[in-house]
Amino acid sequence: MTRPLLEVSHLFKSFGGRDGLFRAGRRARVVNDVGFTIGRGETFGLVGESGSGKSTIGRTILRLLEPDSGEILFDGQDIAGLSRGDLRRLRRRMQIVFQDPFSSLDPRVRVGEVLAEPIRLHGLREGAAIEARVDELLETVGLAPHHKTRWPHEFSGGQRQRIAIARALAVEPDLIVCDEAVSALDVSIQAQVLNLLARLRDDLGVSYLFISHDMSVVRHIADRVGVLYAGRLVETGPVGAVFDRPSHPYTRMLLAATPSLAGRSRAPAQDIAGAPPSPFDAVTGCAFASRCAFASDRCRTEEPPLDTFQAEDHRAACWHVAELPPLGPEAAQGDAAMSPAYRRRIDLLRRAQAGSPA
Ligand SMILES: Nc1ncnc2c1ncn2[C@@H]1O[C@H](COP(=O)(O)OP(=O)(O)OP(=O)(O)O)[C@@H](O)[C@H]1O
Ligand SMILES: [Mg+2]
């Protein structure tokens, strides 16, 4: 078996003290012992409520943030302790695409220059070859070479997101972290951009860490998924297994609370009763116990490891997996197990994708 492109293990990240915001001595423990891998050409989805630590994990992997501890191996190489030059080379191979296509592009820079700059910076092409590469990138993301003389404000949200993707691709990365990359877009445009990302994965072999609070989007694009709760992974596995046979009560809650079409941009947090523990408070036992209908004394005292449930690559951290109510025969039928609103949304995404030219 070939080695995964990204291997994250025992990752911890906290904020506090010198980071500003908080009274000295108080630390917010935001990422707690997180581990996962991403294979080459694989899309790993990271889901969870607002504040669960998704973006922090993404930024730590890119070393935009320093982890407290843990190991991040990229292509077998530990990214901690890299020299400045090595880090620069590594940065080229990992890119990020953010949520907001309106603020992620400098309004004073023409599109052609947005794409040419990273190519020049990393010395990937010279002279006329730079312009040819810019044309190629625009075509790759479904835009045209004549767009390069235009300014970012002349483009729609979906087009700007394509430009942001082209900019990420300009340096020929192996991994792209998509942090809510389609969350601000209309559903039909979302489908086009998701389609584009899937095509790039198939054509170029790019891997994605796909961060989203939207379960239906993750189901649509990801191969494997990790469910994050209060900075801890509570369930991971192939997307079909996790979504059709959710084994952690929190995953079940998230799926049951999947936003309706009208509330698409809303984080599921608002649909789920209770709140996660404060990152400032020490947690004993399972972090989800305070909101869980199945919690026992053991859950409140002893933290369940991620392999209390394990079926091949599907794992969950719950002491009571075996006693949870069965999902019913419809669970095996995939989408049928989901709420009508969820199913409508998946249908819409599929139809939009089938009809989209991208
Ligand atoms: N630089 C920082 N300094 C202090 N606290 C931070 C910092 N960045 C994030 N946090 C805190 O860490 C927690 C996790 O934030 P993060 O942005 O990773 O969540 P998220 O899962 O991406 O949420 P969302 O879905 O809203 O984007 C939050 O409680 C946040 O307030
Ligand atoms: Mg975020």
pLDDT at position 250: 95
Return the residue whose CA atom lies nearest to atom 13 of ligand 1.
51
**Same domain assignment for residues 163 and 301:** no
Split at pLDDT 50, 70, 90, the class of 268 is: very low
- Write down the pLDDT at residue 350: 58
Residue nearest to atom 30 of ligand 1 (CA): 51
Report yes or no on 50 lying in a domain: yes
pLDDT above 80 for 257: no
> Looking at residue 136, which CATH number applies to its domain?
3.40.50.300
What would the pLDDT profile of 91-127 be if each residue is shown by its tens digit? 899 999 998 877 888 999 999 999 999 999 999 999 9
CA of 127 to the centre of ligand 2 (A): 38
- The protein residue whose alpha carbon is closest to atom 29 in ligand 1 is 51
Q: Is 33 inside a domain boundary?
A: no
Residue 245 and residue 212 share a domain: no
Q: How many helices (H) and strands (E) does the chain have?
A: 11, 12
Q: Is residue 321 part of a domain?
A: yes
Q: Clarify whether residues 185 and 123 are in a common domain.
A: yes
Determine which residue's CA is closest to atom 2 belonging to ligand 1.
15
* Residue 5 clears pLDDT 90, i.e. is over it: yes
Q: Is residue 9 part of a domain?
A: no
Encode pLDDT of 169-189 as tens digits. 999 999 999 999 998 888 888
Do residues 120 and 217 share a domain? yes
Q: Helices in the chain by DSSP H: which ranges?
A: 54-61, 84-93, 111-121, 128-140, 157-169, 187-204, 215-221, 239-244, 249-256, 297-301, 340-355
Mean pLDDT, to the nearest integer, of 79-98?
Answer: 89
Do 164 and 218 have their domain in common?
yes
Q: Tell me, yes or no, whether 288 lies in a domain.
A: yes
- Determine the distance separating the centroid of ligand 1 and the alpha carbon of 53, expressed in angstroms: 6
What is the residue with the minimal CA distance to atom 12 of ligand 1? 30
Same domain, 83 and 217: yes
Please state the rounded mean pLDDT for residues 29-56. Answer: 96
Q: Near ion ligand 2, which residues have CB within 5 Å?
A: 54-55
Residue 279 CA, closest ligand 1 atom number:
29
Domain total in the chain: 2
Same domain assignment for residues 82 and 217:
yes
Structure tokens at 302: 């002893």
Domain extent for 343? 235-259+282-352
Position with higher pLDDT, 17 vs 47: 47
Q: What per-residue confidence (pLDDT) applies to 323?
A: 87
Instruction: Indicate whether 234 pLDDT > 70.
Output: yes
pLDDT band at 230 (very low <50, low <70, confident <90, very high): very high
What pLDDT, on the 0 to 100 scale, is given for residue 352?
Answer: 55
Q: Which of 19-23, 53-57, 335-339 has the lowest mean pLDDT?
A: 335-339
Q: Looking at the domain assignment, is residue 29 inside a domain? A: no
Q: Are residues 48 and 197 in the same domain?
A: yes
pLDDT greater than 90 at residue 326: no
Query: What's the pLDDT score for residue 341?
Result: 53
What letters, b where the CB count within 10 A reaches 16 and e where it falls short, cover 77-99?
eebeebeeeeeeebbbebbbbbb
What residues flank ligand 1, with Cβ below 6 Å?
15, 19, 21, 28, 30, 48, 50-56, 213, 267, 279
In this structure, the residue with its CA closest to atom 3 of ligand 1 is 15
Residues 161 and 116 occupy one common structural domain: yes
Q: Note whether 205 and 292 are same-domain residues.
A: no
- Find out whether 180 and 213 touch, Cβ atoms under 8 Å: yes
Q: Note whether residue 215 is domain-resident.
A: yes
Ligand 1: nearest atom to the Cα of 28: 5
pLDDT band at 265 (very low <50, low <70, confident <90, very high): very low
C-alpha closest to that of 248 among 234, 267, 268, 263: 234
Mean pLDDT for the stretch of residues 268-278: 69
Name the pLDDT band for 273 (thresholds 50, 70, 90): confident
User: To the nearest whole number, what is the mean pLDDT of the chain?
Assistant: 87
56: CA distance to ligand 1 center in Å?
6
Same domain, 208 and 240: no
- How is residue 96 written in tokens? 């990020």
Q: What is the pLDDT of residue 100?
A: 80
Q: Do the domain assignments include residue 242?
A: yes
Task: Mark whether 203 and 344 lie in a shared domain.
Answer: no
